[in-house]
Amino acid sequence: MAKDKTIYTCNECGGISPKWLGKCPHCNAWNTLIESVAVAESAVKNRYSASFQALAKTSEITVLADIDATDVDRTPTGHEELDRVLGGGIVAGGVVLIGGDPGIGKSTLLLQALDSLQRAGQNTLYVTGEESGAQVALRSRRLGLERSQVKVMAEIQLEKILATLEAHQPDVAVIDSIQTVYSDQLTSAPGSVAQVRECAAHLTRAAKTSGTAIVLVGHVTKEGALAGPRVLEHMVDTVLYFEGDTHSQFRLVRAIKNRFGAVNEIGVFAMTEKGLKGVSNPSAIFLSQHSEPVPGSCVMVTLEGTRPMLVEIQALVDSGGPSPRRLSVGLDKDRLAMLLAVLHRHAGVACMDQDVFVNAVGGVRISEPAADLAVLLAITSSLRGKPLPKGFIAFGEVGLAGEVRPAPRGQERLKEAAKLGFSVAVVPKANAPKKAIEGMTIHAVDRVEQAMEIVRGSPEVQGGAGKPRLHTASAARSMVSSNS
């Protein structure tokens, strides 16, 4: 039966083959045939027509202005940091994909969220394909979720999951994970692209028709793009990825796509003995705990999403061999090469024969170009073996002509830095505030050379010996008052 039901479709040209081949007979591309469900010729025309006809009857054309733009109803999960990345909470009928490395805390976070939702009166269902019911129960005890009323089902067959969703009509359902679910319709193994795509499509349809909010858990595989959750990104409403270091205590959840909220929003959690706890003021965790400034370290204010955060950029410049290495962790590698060229050409600082390593502390990934200036300052600081002054921050985009361009919402960044006790800032001219910020000396620059000049020469930028030891607000404030 399965034989005449499945066909192989080419990813590249859409050509169809009755059996799997290494090379597509239509476009000659290699490894592009993916199993899919065959639909009879007559049915192809009608596959969706029934539903389209139904739609055509009910919906008439309306002028945009006449449509009531009611905001979608969100149900907060009770975990502030999770709600932040979701754009306020779970949306009925919305599909969320949450991806991340194995063991980073996906199941933990979702179990905690489901329990809070259940306690708030929502009907919840946790479908586990990776663990048994007993294992989930064990985790819930560990999380301190006593007498949790979350419904659990250990099942991996799509048709049975769909039937259960239909029968129980939960408000929120978690499928942990989409890679373990398989459909009877396909012969390929669970976790293959064909299965993942087909199962996710069915579940998404079920969510839209029933109003159940569905959360799909997806593992990011080593190969990344293909069998991983990336193939699902276009189908779902919201895509969240765990990022950060599995070895550190902190976990970041970033919204990559969100039809109901802002993208690039970051939620910060700490993994504790009792599960994930939100960190409401995360700035401090991306700074390393030096008691005195060290060479090669520069703090920047990043604004990924809507919340400004302070992140320390570290650089190490060391003599390299004939082909020196450029490595970056948490920052764009190509951008690093570009910045080194700018540094050489416009500020006369050469690193041709040096290995250059840069790192964003805490496992955070920074995609915005506002990190450029901090990267350059960290590199020169490491090269000269001289630390930047205490309480120093910098941000701004650097262009190929050596110009320093403004970063969006500079005022907010400066205010956040001042709040945390930073007292000296080098920022793009357009970001300099009109009114002085209390306790902060601001240097506005529009060229890379000026920024270098300021940290090299100007006396008020130079941190001194015998200053307070910690980067705390009070310590830095006292430093400012002693200066003035």
- Footprint of Mg ion (CB under 5 A): 107
421 touching ligand TYD, by CB under 6 A: no
Binding piece for ligand TYD, criterion CB under 6 A, among 104-112, 146-154, 314-322, 354-362: 104-112
> Residue 472 and residue 352: Cα distance in Å, rounded?
38
Q: In the numeric block, which tokens belong to residue 101?
A: 């490395």
228 touching ligand TYD, by CB under 6 A: no
Q: Which does 142 bind (CB under 5 to 8 A by kind): ligand TYD, Mg ion, none?
A: ligand TYD
Q: In the numeric block, which tokens belong to residue 161?
A: 């999951």
Q: Which does 143 bind (CB under 5 to 8 A by kind): Mg ion, ligand TYD, none?
A: ligand TYD
107 touching ligand TYD, by CB under 6 A: yes
Closer by beta carbon to ligand TYD, 139 or else 208:
139
> Residue 254 and residue 266: Cα distance in Å, rounded?
5
Query: What is the DSSP secondary structure assignment for residue 449, as one 8-state letter?
Result: H
Closer by beta carbon to ligand TYD, 273 or else 438:
273
Which residues share a beta bridge with 90?
A: 75
Q: Which does 18 bind (CB under 5 to 8 A by kind): Mg ion, ligand TYD, none?
A: none
Phi, psi of 424 (to 5 degrees): -130, 130
Closer by beta carbon to ligand TYD, 105 or else 362:
105
Instruction: Tell me which residues in 271-310 interact with ligand TYD (CB under 6 A).
Output: 271, 273-275
Among 143, 173, 417, 479, which residue interacts with ligand TYD (rule: CB under 6 A)? Answer: 143
Closer by beta carbon to Mg ion, 107 or else 183:
107
Closer by beta carbon to ligand TYD, 275 or else 396:
275
100 touching ligand TYD, by CB under 6 A: yes
Residue carrying structure tokens 């001042």? 418
Among 18, 25, 102, 133, which residue interacts with ligand TYD (rule: CB under 6 A)? Answer: 102
Q: Which does 275 bind (CB under 5 to 8 A by kind): Mg ion, ligand TYD, none?
A: ligand TYD
Are the C-beta atoms of 303 and 409 separated by less than 8 Å? yes
Smallest gap from residue 217 Cβ to ligand TYD (A) = 7
Residues 167-176 as b/e (b if ≥16 CB within 10 A, e otherwise) read eeebbbbbbb
Smallest gap from residue 401 Cβ to ligand TYD (A) = 45
Closer by beta carbon to ligand TYD, 14 or else 103:
103
Fill in the per-residue mask, 229 to 268: x = in contact with ligand TYD (CB under 6 A), - = not in contact.
Answer: ----------------------------------------
Are the C-beta atoms of 458 and 438 separated by less than 8 Å? no
Closer by beta carbon to Mg ion, 179 or else 210:
179
Are the C-beta atoms of 472 and 464 separated by less than 8 Å? no
Phi, psi of 456 (to 5 degrees): -80, -45
Judged by CB under 6 A, the number of residues near ligand TYD is: 15
Smallest gap from residue 112 Cβ to ligand TYD (A) = 9
Element (H, E) at 201: helix 193-210
Long-range contacts of the stretch 114-119 (C-beta < 8 A, 24+): 114/150, 114/172, 114/174, 115/140, 115/143, 115/145, 115/148, 115/150, 116/77, 116/78, 116/79, 117/75, 117/77, 117/78, 117/90, 117/171, 117/172, 118/148, 118/149, 118/150, 119/78, 119/149
144 touching ligand TYD, by CB under 6 A: no
Residue 244 Ramachandran class (φ > 0 left, ψ -120 to 50 alpha, else beta): left
Binding piece for ligand TYD, criterion CB under 6 A, among 49-57, 106-114, 150-158, 278-286: 106-114
Closer by beta carbon to ligand TYD, 118 or else 297:
118
Q: What's the gap between Cα 294 and its chain centre?
A: 29
* Residues 383, 385, 388: CA angle, nearest 5 degrees: 100
* Among 428, 447, 443, 445, CA closest to 343: 447
Smallest gap from residue 376 Cβ to ligand TYD (A) = 36
- Taking the CA atoms of 351, 356, 360 and 366 in sequence, report the sign of the dihedral they define: positive
Among 18, 25, 103, 385, which residue interacts with ligand TYD (rule: CB under 6 A)? Answer: 103
* Among 204, 217, 192, CA closest to 99: 217
Smallest gap from residue 103 Cβ to Mg ion (A) = 8
Closer by beta carbon to ligand TYD, 269 or else 422:
269
Summarize as ranges the residues that interact with ligand TYD (CB under 6 A). Answer: 100, 102-108, 139, 142-143, 271, 273-275
